Amino acid sequence: MLVTPSRLTIGTRGSTLALRQTEIVSAELRRHHPGLEVDVTRITTRGDILIDQPLALLGEKGLFVSEIEEALRNRRVDLAVHSAKDLPSCLPDDMRVGAWLTRSDPGDALVTLNGSDVWSLPSGSRVGTSSPRRSCQLRALREDLRLLDVRGNVDTRLRKLEAREYDALVLAVAGLDRLGCLDGRAWRFPLDTMLPAPGQGALAVEITAVAADVGALLAPLNDELTEVAVVAERAFLEAIAGGCSTASAAFARATKEGLVLLAMIGAADGRLVRGERRGSLEDGVALARSLAAELLQRGGAELLRHRDLAAVDR
């Protein structure tokens, strides 16, 4: 008989957003398991330290998770809460996702002081983003914008906007919403102009592969449709060998009727190829691999080979 623990320790990054996301998971655990005690341990990752370098130039997998995974291995923590988009497409063999929480809005928003949309920005406006994916799609829309790298957590970036270091920022809608910052300054990009990163808007709870007891406690938190969608998106990323240094995107919409997968491969100058697949929920990974093969054949492989990591002006 499996004996589940009465106390759990969650490992998380120390940013305001990471702690808010951990609170969401903690509350869900306590709701499903009254009496369960939940502690939080803050862990500094390499990605939190190297804030003076563009993410695309670092080019490392697991920048925001490796140290937390080591804490899981050493049993300093029992589970870890991540933004699903921060997880590498392939987890180490000794790790697994114990739960995918119901996804929030997966999209991106343009944040300005006056709530401008992307079409109303004056030519030459300074737009802050550290993402090749966002930079590529922005250049495809408005090649006259000046794209500048911006690092730091969400509240730090918003302070830089208020200090007029940037004219606009591109940020995930879900993060803004969780921090209570989704207000009149944010304009949502339509999905047909800005595809999100795989897993964007979803929370992933990571555990060790052998932690059956913790997995049993997490089982009620898992949303099956979110899992199907995010697993398909991550399969696309894996199939193209993508990561934080590639201009690539994938978004799957999963319903009881089936799955629709949209994906993109691009380059820093705004060139890109997009495609779509539809099928059953059971075929999500196969659809992702098929779409990846198509986009690579249609020019995506060339874009990846000759990608310019300097996707922003410096």
Comparing CA positions, the residue from 26, 88, 29 lying closest to residue 242 is 88
Q: Sheet with 203-208: list strands edge to edge.
A: 37-42, 7-12, 79-83, 203-208, 95-100
Q: Which amino acid is at 154?
A: V
Strand 203-208 and strand 95-100: the pairing is antiparallel
How far, CA to CA in Å, does 128 sit from each of 56, 88, 142, 147, 167?
14, 24, 14, 6, 8
Q: Is 192 a catalytic residue?
A: no
Q: Determine how many CB atoms are found less than 10 A away from the CB of residue 214.
A: 20
Strand 37-42 and strand 7-12: the pairing is parallel
Distance CA 256, CA 234 (A): 20
| Residue in this structure with the two tokens 């996804």, named with its chain if needed | 103
Q: Which amino acid is at 232?
A: A
Torsion of CA 140, 145, 151, 152, to 10 degrees: -110
Q: What is the DSSP letter of 94?
A: T
Angle (CA) 70-130-48 rounded to 5° is 30
Q: What is the DSSP letter of 12?
A: E
Backbone angles phi, psi at 166, to 5 degrees: -135, 155
Which residue in the list 48, 78, 86, 149 is annotated as catalytic? 86
Beta bridge partners of 7: 37
Distance CA 277, CA 292 (A): 10
Strand 37-42 and strand 258-266: the pairing is unpaired
Q: Which amino acid is at 170?
A: V
Catalytically active residues are 86
